[in-house]
Chains A and B, each alone.
Chain A
Amino acid sequence: MRKAKNMLSKQMPYLTDNIVPIIFIAFTLLGFALTDNVPINYFLSELSSRFYRNAFIVLSLIIPVIAGLGLNFGIVIGAMSGQLAIIIVRYLSIEYLHLSGVWELFFCIVLALPIAAFIGFLTGRLYNKTRGQEMIASLIVGFFANGVYQFILLFATGVIIPVRATHPMIKPDGVGVRMTVDMGELHYSLQNIMKTPFMWTVLVVSAVLLTLVVALYLTGRKRPDKGNKVIFIIKVLLLAAIIAYSVFAIATKNNITKVKEVPTVTIIFIGLLCLFTELIMKTKLGQDFRSVGQSQHIARSNGINVDKTRIIAVIMSTVMAAWGQIFYLQDMGTLNVYGAHTQIGMFSVAALLVGGASVRKATVSQALIGTILFNSMFIMSPEIGKAVFGNALLGEYFRTFMVYGIIGMALGIYVWNDNRKARITLDPIELNAQDN
């Protein structure tokens, strides 16, 4: 939404700032132009189900960015905590408790909280010790934790922690958890609580957004200067168009109503997390995050406990990532014990950046837009590879390149700009950091 409006306002700085989202929109449109075998309802079904799976985890990245920790690749550890919770709950459920799917899900969520919070605390302390190098530290700590995770599940389970060798989740020789664990009743446990047709959901969500936008504008929270007015009108028109189209689609029952139904509870959870992230910024803690993110030096002299604030940010991010991974896996149906988490950090970070976020700035709407754009690219690139080069594999390599390239480019541009600014301002703290 915001991207389209930036292009319209023809403001060059906006255009260059949002070059990444624009490339992605162009890429997806190119995909549609080149391939004629991607029906729109298939595309939307794919895209929407990927969105429900990933949005929660991408949202978990926002708070560390605001608190100045940069992009927290360490959410991989959160994902591992979520998986540990699932494995423990599933093991106990099969062995003794025989819970129903929703209860299993509930216990997973409850159990993941202390595990992720504890590990988040440890990683937070680590980031405090590797100040200035948090991003590389978070990447490496993810690899490190993966080793510990494998040690616990492949070796300690059965050798140190007693388990029943004939349990269906344990390897035949009694040591280690199997490569894949069936999610049993946990599969779709969140999805199946309630489902609503796609277009109806779109209708309701856009109606709510429209009232929200209008209400915010009328109460005058945003200064009514000229740019805001244009943005406001575009927003209203866009939402109105979506509402009109959904009414039309529902009335005529056209192709687009065949898009997969929406898992209502998942959407509500994602909405709640958006709300939480927005609201926490209005609290004292949120203000602390922001001032620590802007300058640790100034925050400290204002009496904020910088280290503690940073640790809290990491704990929040880790816990949310753990929950996000649980929601993701209940949708997938099988847990790939040693592989499900490995890529989640890179993909989520790339998605956030695609939405237009940077190392120091991220918003909820950037996370949501980024998730949509990134996954569109993911769906389209094998199709483009097939259409242009007759080779779907090429498209897959290409999208891997996009993931790494986007992250590298976003980081590079950010640091480069930062260094240029530092050279102009001659800020003593900046210079000091450079000397070291």
Chain B
Amino acid sequence: MLKNEDKQNNTVKKNLDIPIVKSIGLPTLIIAAFFLLVMITAAVLKQSLPILISDILRRFGMNGVLVLAMVPAIKSGTGPNFALPLGIICGLLAWTIGIEMGFVGFKLLLITSAIATVFAVATGYFYGKLLNAVKGAEMTIATYTGFSTVALMSLVWLMAPFKSKQMGWMMGKGLRETIKLDGVNAGEIINNFLSFEIIGIKIPTGLLLTFFAFCFLVWLFFRTKTGVAIIAGGSNPAFAAAAGIDIDKNRIIANILSTVLGAYGIILYSQSYGFFQLYSGPLMMAFPAVAGVLIGGATASKANISHVIIGTFLLQGLLTASMPVANQLFAGTDLSEIMRVILQNGIILYALTQVKGGGK
């Protein structure tokens, strides 16, 4: 037993202290090489690098928190959070309520975040309970939980008794599919906070700071007693149970955290875009986030903050840079979108082949 405990402590330590270099896997290196290649091609093709880099930074910050939401779920042993749309919907609902209440600007942002937190904690709690009931098939169930919630919410968007002119159709009931945030002074509100330009590169300081702040908080959380217990339960449930850790409770806590991060993630994402999308908008949003963390070197059972930062940067960087390059090289084709589909789903498949166990 003692020996086992030592081993366990070691694995926990290993999880926490892995130097970035060690955690770089083959997929990460391939994508990184590809990213470099595309950047060099862009330079050769005389594309404006400052604009490209500004775009990459913006997309990196935008998607960051959504990818970060994967970390608690993976660490707790429920696998990547394919039900990310749950958190996203909490964020979207909070936006609509905030706008309906007539707030604008920073006040709107704060109110929205507060409402989103309440929704996401409640949703995450029930989602965590659900996952505890379906151990062994979390990823499949999570995907369909996300899908069916998005479909159910379509009915809500259509029937919600909202009156605000910012969100409704000119005539008839229901909310619009795309709602602009410029009308309520919330478009790019975080991006523009303290933002500045160097050699033509626009740095969205507020956005990056917010993203890194969330990364830091999550990192800090996994150093608390609860955090360490969650990791222990995720990496070796049998041992953790023997040590008196309530695994089911910890899985719920981790998934609440993941759902809350999903809600904050979409708030950050949509303010950067300047609008948000209802109805089927969130349907497929889990997959790029899952792919992001996996590209950073995470697996379905192991993930760190470094994976989030590296993965988001590589995936979003590659996608952002490849678009103008592909358009210039092969005009008229949608090659970058095709590449996104192949890359994103290819990396998820690769991660699934690495999942151990199953198969009775």
Q: Is A416's beta carbon under 8 Å from chain B?
A: yes
Instruction: Check A397/B155 contact, CB under 8 A, given A297-B360, A415-B137, A416-B134.
Output: yes
**5 intermolecular pairs with C-beta atoms under 8 Å apart:** A132-B355, A132-B357, A155-B338, A397-B154, A419-B133
Give chain B residues whose Cβ lies under 8 Å from the Cβ of A407: 144, 147-148
Interface of A: prevailing SS: helix
Q: Is B130's beta carbon under 8 Å from chain A?
A: yes
Q: Is A93's beta carbon under 8 Å from chain B?
A: no
Contact A408 B349 (CB under 8 A): no
Q: Is A426's beta carbon under 8 Å from chain B?
A: no
- Report the Cα distance A133→B143, complex, angstroms: 12
- Report the Cα distance A137→B352, complex, angstroms: 7
Give chain A residues whose Cβ lies under 8 Å from the Cβ of B151: 397, 400-401, 403-405
User: How many interface residues does chain B have, given as a range?
Assistant: 35 or more
Q: Mark B348-360, 1 if CB is under 8 A from A, else 0.
A: 1100110111111
Q: Across the A-B interface, give the 8 residue pairs with the lowest CB-CB distance, nearest first.
A: A132-B358, A436-B357, A147-B341, A408-B144, A131-B359, A144-B345, A401-B151, A147-B342
- Report the Cα distance A148→B343, complex, angstroms: 10
Contact residue among A137, A140, A394 (Cβ-Cβ distance under 8 Å from B155): A394
Whose C-beta in chain B lies nearest to the C-beta of A359? B137
Q: Is A135's beta carbon under 8 Å from chain B?
A: yes
Give chain B residues whose Cβ lies under 8 Å from the Cβ of A430: 360
Contact B357 A148 (CB under 8 A): no
Chain A min CB distance to B301 (Å): 9
Q: Is A126's beta carbon under 8 Å from chain B?
A: yes
- Apart from A401-B152, A435-B357, list 13 A-B contacts with CB within 8 A: A133-B139, A140-B345, A140-B352, A143-B341, A144-B341, A147-B338, A147-B345, A176-B333, A404-B151, A405-B148, A405-B151, A415-B141, A435-B237
Give chain B residues whose Cβ lies under 8 Å from the Cβ of A296: 359-360
Chain B min CB distance to A250 (Å): 43
Q: Mark B120-142, 1 if CB is under 8 A from A, else 0.
A: 00000000001001111101110
Give chain B residues whose Cβ lies under 8 Å from the Cβ of A434: 135-136, 237
Instruction: Check A398/B139 contact, CB under 8 A, given A296-B360, A404-B147.
Output: no
Whose C-beta in chain A lies nearest to the C-beta of B280? A400
Give chain B residues whose Cβ lies under 8 Å from the Cβ of A433: 136, 357-360
Contact A408 B346 (CB under 8 A): no
Contact A393 B158 (CB under 8 A): yes
Q: Is A432's beta carbon under 8 Å from chain B?
A: yes
Contact A136 B140 (CB under 8 A): yes
Give chain A residues whose Cβ lies under 8 Å from the Cβ of B330: 155, 159, 175
Q: Mark A397-432, 1 if CB is under 8 A from B, else 0.
A: 110110111011001100110110000000001101
- Report the Cα distance A151→B145, complex, angstroms: 30
Give chain A residues whose Cβ lies under 8 Å from the Cβ of B159: 389, 394
Q: Is A309's beta carbon under 8 Å from chain B?
A: no
Contact B141 A429 (CB under 8 A): no
Whose C-beta in chain A lies nearest to the C-beta of B358? A132
- Report the Cα distance A176→B154, complex, angstroms: 34
Chain A min CB distance to B150 (Å): 8
